[in-house]
Amino acid sequence: MKAVVIGVGNRLRGDDGVGLAVCDLLLEDPPSNTEVYGFEHVPAELCEHWEGASSVVLVDACVSEGSEPGAIRRLNARDTPLAADTLRLSTHGFGLAEAIELARSLDALPPRLCVYAIEGRSFERGEGLSPAVAAAAKTVAAQIRAELEASCTSAP
Amino acid sequence: MSKGKGKTRTIKVDYLARVEGEGALYVKIKGDTVESAQLRIFEPPRFFEAFLRGRAYHEAPDITARICGICPVAYQMSAVHAMEQALGVKVEGQLRALRRLLYCGEWIESHALHVFMLHAPDFLGYPDAIAMAKDHPDVVRQALKVKNTGNAIVARVGGREIHPINVKVGGFYRVPTRAEFKDLRAEIEEARDLTVGHIPFLAGLDIPELERDYEFVSLRNPGEYPMNEGRLVSNKGLDIAIEDYNDHFTEVHAEHSNALQSFVNGRGSYLCGPLARYNLGYEELRPIAKEAAAKAGLGPTVNNPFKSIVVRAVEVLHALDEALAIIDAYERPDQPAVTVTPRAGVGHACTEAPRGILYHRYVLDDEGNILEAKIVPPTSQNQRCIEEDLREVVLARLEFDDAALTHACEQAIRNYDPCISCATHFLKLHVERS
Predicted local confidence at residue A93, as pLDDT: 56
pLDDT digits (tens, 9 = 90+) for B11-34: 666 542 222 445 677 888 888 888
Nearest CB to A105; choose among B134, B145, B162: B134
Q: Do residues B308 and B48 touch, judged by C-beta distance below 8 A? A: no
Residue contact B141–A92, C-beta within 8 A? no
Residue contact A45–B144, C-beta within 8 A? yes
Q: Which residues of B touch A (CB under 8 A)?
A: 18-19, 69, 113, 117, 128-131, 133-134, 137, 140-141, 144-145, 147-148, 151, 161-163, 422-426
Residue contact A43–B151, C-beta within 8 A? yes
Q: List, in sequence order, every beta strand (DSSP E) within A42-111.
A: 55-62, 72-76
Q: Do residues B409 and B27 touch, judged by C-beta distance below 8 A? A: yes
Quote the longest CA-to-CA distance of chain A: 47
**How many other CB atoms are there within 10 angstroms of residue B100's CB atom?**
21
**How many other CB atoms are there within 10 angstroms of residue B266's CB atom?**
7
Mutate one of A40, A42, A106 to test the B interface: name it (highest B CB count within 10 A): A106
Q: Does A29 touch chain B (CB under 8 A)?
A: no
What distance in Å separates the CA atoms of residue B4 and residue B161, rounded to the nearest whole number? 52
Mutate one of A16, A42, A45 to test the B interface: name it (highest B CB count within 10 A): A45
Predicted local confidence at residue B127, as pLDDT: 83
Q: Does A123 touch chain B (CB under 8 A)?
A: no
Chain B closest CA to A11's CA: distance in Å? 14
A3-8 and A34-39: which strand pairing? parallel
In the DSSP assignment, the letter for residue B59 is: G
What residues pair up with B356 in beta bridges, in sequence order? B353
Chain B residues inside the 8 Å CB shell of A102: 129-130, 133, 140
What distance in Å separates the CA atoms of residue B131 and residue B134, rounded to the nearest whole number? 6
* pLDDT mean over A53-73: 91
pLDDT digits (tens, 9 = 90+) for B32-66: 888 888 887 654 445 788 889 999 999 999 998 88
Question: CA nearest A117: which of A18, A11, A25, A12?
Answer: A18
Predicted local confidence at residue B292, as pLDDT: 98
Predicted local confidence at residue B160, as pLDDT: 83
pTM: 0.90
Residue A137 CB-density burial (10 A; 0-12 exposed, 13-18 middle, 19+ buried): buried
pLDDT digits (tens, 9 = 90+) for A92-144: 456 788 889 999 999 999 999 999 999 999 888 889 999 999 999 999 999 99
Query: Which parts of chain B have pLDDT scores under 50?
Result: 1-4, 15-21, 43-45, 421-434
Chain A residues inside the 8 Å CB shell of B140: 102, 105-106
Question: End-to-end CA distance of chain B, in Å?
Answer: 7
Chain B residues inside the 8 Å CB shell of A45: 144-145, 147-148, 151
Q: Do residues B171 and B91 touch, judged by C-beta distance below 8 A? A: yes
Predicted local confidence at residue B428, as pLDDT: 38
Higher pLDDT, A91 or B102: B102
What distance in Å separates the CA atoms of residue B309 and residue B293, rounded to the nearest whole number? 12
Would you say residue A91 has pLDDT above 80? no
3-class state of residue B376 by DSSP: strand
- For B419, which residue in chain A has the nearest alpha carbon? A93
Nearest CB to B69; choose among A47, A92, A101: A92
Predicted local confidence at residue B13, as pLDDT: 60
Q: What are phi and psi of A36, to 5 degrees?
A: -120, 125
- For B19, which residue in chain A has the nearest alpha carbon? A92
ipTM rounded to 2 decimals: 0.83
Residue contact A44–B424, C-beta within 8 A? no
Mutate one of B111, B130, B139 to test the A interface: name it (highest A CB count within 10 A): B130
What distance in Å separates the CA atoms of residue B262 and residue B377, rounded to the nearest whole number? 10
Predicted local confidence at residue B345, as pLDDT: 97
- For B129, which residue in chain A has the nearest alpha carbon? A102
Chain B closest CA to A40's CA: distance in Å? 8
Residue contact B69–A40, C-beta within 8 A? yes
Residue contact B144–A94, C-beta within 8 A? no
Predicted local confidence at residue B342, as pLDDT: 97
C-alpha count within 13 angstroms, C-beta hemisphere, residue B9: 23
Residue contact A106–B161, C-beta within 8 A? no
H or E, element range at B286: none
